[in-house]
Amino acid sequence: MYRITIDREACDGVFACLVRDDRFVEESAERSSADQSSGQRPREDSEGLAVLEVDGAEAVAATFDDDRRESAEQAAAACPLDAISVESVDRETAAATEEAEQ
């Protein structure tokens, strides 16, 4: 299980992530996003996306339990602004994040 976190203030719409992981989608000419929100975020089918405060900046995060972590890490590595991070999370942490969203 892993979490993708995107610092929306750091994202400058370079879109290097888009070609490495199709969960990232472009919303406008300036940033990437999914669903109806602004800023870059991973597209996600079944779980919600948490809006987080990360070092005083607004970020979005999504937790995944699949075999696509390598693609997410490639997207994070391709970001020249280091706006994307990928970290391991346990089920308890993921559940707590999901609960905080509601």
Q: Where in the chain are the domains?
A: 2-101
Higher pLDDT, 52 or 46: 52
Higher pLDDT, 19 or 50: 19
Residue 50 has a pLDDT of: 57
Q: Would the pLDDT of 88 be above 80? A: yes
3-state secondary structure 44-89: CCCCCCEEEEECCEEEEEEEECCCCHHHHHHHHHHCCCCCEEEEEC
Does the model's pTM come out above 0.75? no
User: Pairing relation of β-strands 2-7 and 84-88?
Assistant: antiparallel
Selection from 26, 90, 86 nearest residue 61 by Cα: 86
Q: How confident is the model at residue 53 (pLDDT cuts 50, 70, 90)?
A: low
Q: Would the pLDDT of 58 be above 90? A: no
Q: How far is Cα 63 from Cα 4, in angstroms, rounded to an integer?
A: 6
